[in-house]
Amino acid sequence: MSRLDIEEQPTFEDLELLAEVSQLLTLHDLDNVLQKVISLTSKAVGASRASLFLHKGDQIDWDHILVTRNLTRDESIKVVNRVLNEGLAGWVYRNRKAAIVADTEKDERWLTFADDTSKTRSALCVPFILNDEVLAVVTLVHPDPEHFTPYHLRLVTIIANQATVAIRNAQLFNKLETQQRQLQAFLQAIPDVLLVLNKSGQILMVNNAAVRLIGENNQETLLNRHLKEFATVDDVFASIDDIIRKDSGDDDIEEWAFSVRSEKRQQDFQVTMSVWKEQGQIGGYVVVMHDITTLRDLNRFKDEMLRVASHDLRSPLSLIVGYIDLIGLDLPEDSPLQQYLDVVRRSTERMNTLLDDLLRVERVRNSPLELQEEIDVAKLVRVVLVNMRPSAEAKKQRLNSDVQLDNAPKFIADAVLIRQSMENLISNAIKYTPEGGEISVKAYIENERFYFTVTDTGIGIPQEHLSHIFESFYRVPHETTSAEKGTGLGLSLVKNVIERHDGEVWVTSEVGQGSTFGFWLPLKRKV
């Protein structure tokens, strides 16, 4: 038996080496895996030096290049780039197969660098391939020619096959760790309070804002504790704990949105609470609490100003109206001063109307609706049409109706506010439709909803104004409407009323052709 045959028989050391390679699968740190690969492959073939280039797709992973020469990072990058373009490692990478260089002085694939003082006469280069992708290339060198044999090649290839899986696992683990650190940094940076709870309300994750709100020293003291512990300390958590205790998981509700106030800290929060699932079952809840204290304070200030304005302005307005009437009694009917008094009277009346509209909008927007009345919508529409017909006839307009509400079911709503909303839409159509025009009212039931639309043949609304038409005080600038009286609150009032009833408003329009305003209301409101 020849010496080569003896050398190519697996030794106990080789088997021991392969056992060490199998342990690579237990490592998660990428740098540790790569260092182990270099060490094991060098040990397997008795190499004097080794280098390893890790790839990311078609690019070198410059954070993970191992070159056993004493080079700086910039020098290593220059060497690796040249080797990949002109040298043995580049040839192996492009051809996706291993290569042995018996004598570096006779193989053109081997590059010699002038500043490399180490002697190299033979080399072995093997690619690490997984799913037809080259993850890495390892190059092993020796100062003697013809040091590496086919047996060495097979041995390193076996090591590479196992090491490739270990490298990919470590890459994935490294990527997950990086993403987790990024996510943690993001969650800690956001100003909103974040709580991740299991289905029983046990705290799994919190951010710094949550720690500050609860009043603990750090996150570790909160983990695995139940939220109900803090519900008694600060009532801001009571509503969240109440949902958790009542949520059986049988309902289709997977998200809740509500406002809470912390009396302890004098803060208001808008809370969004969502379910997260594991294998189709409720795993727990994600709670995000956005601080709206400033907005609420501004809202409370606005309400107070409205109350002050309504109280303090009405008295002088009433006095103005009274004195206007007294002055008018002492003036001749043909006196030119009567015209001035009429202007003051109309302006005063407009201010009173504006105050009434403002207070009405705020009551609808902020006060809880007492929706206890079961309304007959067919009867309500008939009343609206009777009330509005005289206004249409005063402008010689035709008020048509298409009411398809036979056997319409009754539903719970505030009849007064719904009637006012219908009348507002018709009044708006009458106001902006010329004399002799036509207004059509349609009411019907479809898909468990009550629909009400008003179509006119008026001046129409330019498209760029449609998205703002339901905003408070918004009036479409138009030369033909400059003389029209109004506060710009009528449509805003309609929108607030309908949305408080869980419905929706809409408008379509074409300049010179007319407009259609409408809304729908659910026959069954959300609980």
Q: What is the pLDDT of residues 319-364, one digit of tens each?
A: 887 888 888 887 887 788 888 888 888 888 777 777 776 666 666 6
Residues 22 and 2: their CA atoms lie apart, in Å, by 31
Judgement on whether residues 246 and 341 belong to the same structural domain of the protein: no
Residues 239 and 220: their CA atoms lie apart, in Å, by 24
Tell whether 527 is covered by a domain: no
Among 181, 208, 242, the domain boundary falls at 181
Domain count, the chain: 4
The pLDDT tens digits for 31-53 are: 888 888 888 888 888 898 888 88
Tell which wins on pLDDT, 333 or 57: 333
Tell whether 31 is covered by a domain: yes
Judgement on whether residues 122 and 154 belong to the same structural domain of the protein: yes
Please identify which residue in the block is written with the tokens 């509400």: 405
Q: Are 521 and 432 in contact (CB under 8 A)?
A: no
Judgement on whether residues 409 and 443 belong to the same structural domain of the protein: yes
Judgement on whether residues 271 and 303 belong to the same structural domain of the protein: no
Judgement on whether residues 168 and 204 belong to the same structural domain of the protein: no
Judgement on whether residues 249 and 343 belong to the same structural domain of the protein: no
Judgement on whether residues 478 and 354 belong to the same structural domain of the protein: no
DSSP 261-297: EETTTTEEEEEEEEEEEETTEEEEEEEEEEE-HHHHH
Tell me, what amino acid is at 34?
L
Judgement on whether residues 392 and 409 belong to the same structural domain of the protein: yes
Largest CA distance in the chain: 142
Residue 516 has a pLDDT of 94
DSSP 446-470: ETTEEEEEEEE-S----GGGGGGTT
**What average pLDDT does the segment 125-151 reach?**
89
Judgement on whether residues 91 and 195 belong to the same structural domain of the protein: no
The token pair at 206 is: 């919190």
The whole domain housing 305 covers 295-366
Judgement on whether residues 300 and 393 belong to the same structural domain of the protein: no
Tell whether 186 is covered by a domain: no
Among 242, 271, 291, the domain boundary falls at 291
Judgement on whether residues 348 and 405 belong to the same structural domain of the protein: no
Judgement on whether residues 196 and 163 belong to the same structural domain of the protein: no
Percent of the chain with pLDDT over 90: 18
For 148, other C-beta atoms within 10 Å of its C-beta total 24
The pLDDT tens digits for 366-420 are: 555 554 678 899 999 999 999 899 999 999 999 999 999 888 888 888 888 888 8
Q: For residue 174, what is the domain's CATH number?
A: 3.30.450.40
The pLDDT tens digits for 189-247 are: 788 888 889 888 888 888 888 888 887 777 778 888 888 888 777 778 888 888 888 87
